[in-house]
Amino acid sequence: MKRRVVQTAVLRSLLIALMALVFRWLHLPSPSLGAGFHPGGRVLLDAHNCYPSNGKGQARMDRALRSGLPLAIEQDLVWYTDPRTGRSWSIISHGEPLTGHEPTLRDHFFERIRPIVEDALRAQHQDKWPLIVLNLDFKTNEPEHHKAIWSLLGEYESWLSTAKKGATGEADPLQVRPVLVLTGDSPTQQSVFHDQLKVGERLRVFGAVRWRSDRLESSPEEIVNEKVTNYRRWWNNPWRVVEREGQRNAGEWTATDQRRLEALVNHAHRLGLWIRFYTLNGHPAAETPGWMPSYNFGSLQKVQLRWRACIEAGVDFIATDQYESLSQILVTSQAYRGVASHVQEPARNPR
């Protein structure tokens, strides 16, 4: 009997070791990190342009957080130089006109989520981490801009999902924490966020793969043939890669469209990448509170068909300005069930 117990324990240890090797080979996180964390594991609302702009959208951050966790939040960044003083700093904005009074990433995002992150670190419900995926869309790519954001991320590193920089560039398992930071495919971003780090230092932000924007109608394999690396871990797509005519001129959603979407998603996940599509809105043309008309399908019914198709296909991040409407669909879907948790509106706690 004792021998049988020992044999069982040995077999269990060997099985765990084998699973760890398989997950590493597939570039997936260890099962202990939560089944929903790997590409294709869960479908999240991606709160597009989640900041005030030109006097509109003051409540976007509050709306996004009230929609439930986990979710992704996009913040656009511009390097602003004060024409009077010559001082420069990073602001949250889509672009001109600029005043210098725009919010900063520290105040608008990080200090806004402080109560959520601190509660999460105390509770240690790691199966739901990361609770918030921060998508940084750099509108200007000055090296000093990237260095300023790298320094800011260092102040909050205890909140961030990170990975050790290795010597080979292969994807190292992430140490998952409540926040994951993603950025674009710019080589200048990679230089500051990855290349200039020493082996053994930790990556705080992860880039997107480069893709062939001139081949939107090509096979997924021709658009992207770059598998996951330690730095590049996701694929960011305009919706035109699915429906070539774009949102404003889209026709009926067809089985062919669904197969195209599924092929793109499946290809991304085979490469070990998360995949995002932007931006899926549907509303009467007159109802555009600061939203881009080029992203509008024209009706809630038309965009809901696409949202459900994305959920069915396993899209990791669905970008929209209609946070509440997509959230209502997500919380009833199998892709989201079991990881969603609606939250009380947290009090502001500036440092």
User: What pLDDT digit, counting tens, does each position of 273-291 carry?
Assistant: 999 999 999 998 877 677 8
Over range 20-31, report the average pLDDT: 42
How high is the pLDDT of residue 214?
78
How high is the pLDDT of residue 26?
42
How high is the pLDDT of residue 334?
61
| Element containing residue 265 per DSSP (H, E) | helix 255-270
Q: Which residue has the tokens 């959920």?
A: 311
Residues 48, 137: Cα–Cα separation, whole Å: 10
The lowest-confidence range among 15-24, 66-75, 249-258 is 15-24
Residue 346 confidence class, pLDDT cut points 50, 70, 90:
very low
Residue 29 confidence class, pLDDT cut points 50, 70, 90:
very low
Residues 349, 334: Cα–Cα separation, whole Å: 34
Closest by Cα among 110, 75, 104, 74 to 89: 104
DSSP letter (8 states) at residue 140: S
Are residues 225 and 199 in contact, defined by beta-carbon separation less than 8 angstroms? no
The lowest-confidence range among 10-24, 175-189, 229-243 is 10-24
Non-local CB neighbours of 314 within 8 Å, separated by 6+ positions: 40, 43, 265, 269, 335
How high is the pLDDT of residue 350?
37
Q: Which residues pair with 53 in a beta bridge?
A: 56
Q: What is the pLDDT of residues 305-319, one digit of tens each?
A: 999 999 999 999 999
CA-to-CA dists, residue 107 to 269, 277, 351, angstroms: 34, 27, 9
Residues 282, 71: Cα–Cα separation, whole Å: 20
Residues 86, 189: Cα–Cα separation, whole Å: 24
Three-state DSSP at 14 gives helix
Residues 177, 192: Cα–Cα separation, whole Å: 22
Over range 152-164, report the average pLDDT: 98
Q: Which residues pair with 191 in a beta bridge?
A: none
How high is the pLDDT of residue 8?
42
Residues 258, 260: Cα–Cα separation, whole Å: 5
Are residues 131 and 159 in contact, defined by beta-carbon separation less than 8 angstroms? no
Closest by Cα among 29, 25, 77 to 51: 77
* Predicted structure pTM score: 0.86
